[in-house]
Amino acid sequence: MPVDRQDNSRDRQQIMLRAIGRVISPDAVEPKEIEIAPGFANGLDGVEEHEHLWILYWMHRLADADRRMLQAHARGDTTQPERGVFALHSPMRPNPIGMTRVRLVNREGNRLLVEGLDALEGSPVLDIKSG
Amino acid sequence: MPVDRQDNSRDRQQIMLRAIGRVISPDAVEPKEIEIAPGFANGLDGVEEHEHLWILYWMHRLADADRRMLQAHARGDTTQPERGVFALHSPMRPNPIGMTRVRLVNREGNRLLVEGLDALEGSPVLDIKSG
């Protein structure tokens, strides 16, 4: 197998995402409210038929320096050996996408009330999937 | 609650991702190989301790027009009513991030062999999480 299959120029390609909405509840509140931007609200049709949803969001408070970290301690516990960030669930990672399965409590128009979302206030929501 | 909490300018904010690697196996092959770019390979340390991983990838063959679709038929079945894309698992969605839980078969350096990945050849890999 050729060693040089790696196409570095393509791997450096940047991918652009747009927030479809935002987490509007303060950090300690449970359940949390997500507000979907009006331009994306039609994408919610039928969402209320699901008891559980996956929420993908952007960990917007992570510093750029943390996106360059490739090793971290599991649960921040410095008595544990460091591991690669792809072997962990640590928020530090090159593309800090949070992914949480939540219970849908209520939908009102472009707002979803969900239980179990670990996102901070203001987190841009990237995607919602059934599941 | 003020009607005007929506901060449209922030919702239009663009978020930049970089591929950390790529799916290098042809579409029909199973298990599939993922090649992590050399600059991110240290992030894999300890990954072999997990039997299952979540792979987040970019559905790079989706047309831009499909990113503007907010409604689709479940499993493409036109006898079914349309639903919002956020109520579905359809690849059509504003931010086409695929998310699959795979079984890790083998790791060799910066290459992972995984079972159950539904990504097409060349898909940019965005993140890997334990799970």
**In this predicted model, what pLDDT tens digit does every residue of B11-68 receive, in sequence order?**
456 899 999 999 999 999 999 999 999 999 999 999 999 999 999 999 999 998 999 9
Handedness of CA B90, A14, B8, A32 (dihedral sign): positive
Lowest mean pLDDT among A29-43, A104-118, B3-17, B117-131: B3-17
Residue A99 at interface with chain B, using a CB cutoff of 8 Å: yes
Chain A: closest CA distance from residue B45 (Å): 4
Task: Tell me which residue of B62, B126, B57, B97 sits closest to A20, measured CA to CA.
Answer: B97
Residues of A in contact with B5 (CB under 8 A): 24, 35
Q: Across residues B81-101, what is the average pLDDT?
A: 94
Chain B: closest CA distance from residue A45 (Å): 4
Q: Across residues A85-92, what is the average pLDDT?
A: 92
As a whole number of angstroms, the distance between CA B81 and CA A92 comes to 41
Residue A129 has pLDDT above 90, yes or no: yes
**CATH fourth-level superfamily of A25-59+101-131:** YaeB-like (2.40.30.70)
**In this predicted model, what pLDDT tens digit does every residue of B106-126 receive, in sequence order?**
999 999 999 999 999 999 999
DSSP lists the bridge partners of residue A62 as none
Cβ–Cβ < 8 Å for A131, B89 = yes
Query: Is residue A16 very low, low, confident or very high in pLDDT (cuts 50, 70, 90)?
Result: very high
Residue A12 has pLDDT above 60, yes or no: no
Query: Is residue A75 very low, low, confident or very high in pLDDT (cuts 50, 70, 90)?
Result: confident
- Chain B residue with CA closest to A39: the answer is B70
Residue A127 at interface with chain B, using a CB cutoff of 8 Å: yes
Residues 24-53 of A with CB under 8 A from B: 24, 35-38, 40, 42-47, 49-50, 53
Cβ–Cβ < 8 Å for A23, A33 = yes
As a whole number of angstroms, the distance between CA B88 and CA A66 comes to 33
DSSP lists the bridge partners of residue A53 as A102, A130
The percent of residues in chain A predicted with pLDDT above 90, rounded, is 81
Pairwise CB contact (< 8 Å): B43 & A93 = yes
ipTM score for this prediction: 0.89
Chain A: closest CA distance from residue B117 (Å): 16
CATH architecture classification, B17-130: Beta Barrel (2.40)
**Contacting residues for A79 by C-beta, under 8 A, at least 6 apart:** none
Strand ranges for B1-131 from DSSP E: 14-18, 21-23, 32-36, 52-58, 71-73, 82-84, 97-108, 111-115, 124-130
Name residue, tokens 């992590």: B36
Separation of CA B107 from chain center: 20
Task: Tell me which residue of A12, A17, A127, A89 sits closest to B20, measured CA to CA.
Answer: A12
- The tokens describing A110, both together, are 């472009």
Residue A13 at interface with chain B, using a CB cutoff of 8 Å: yes
- Chain B residue with CA closest to A35: the answer is B6
Chain A: closest CA distance from residue B121 (Å): 13
**Contacting residues for B50 by C-beta, under 8 A, at least 6 apart:** A87, B104, B130, B131
Residues of B in contact with A53 (CB under 8 A): 86
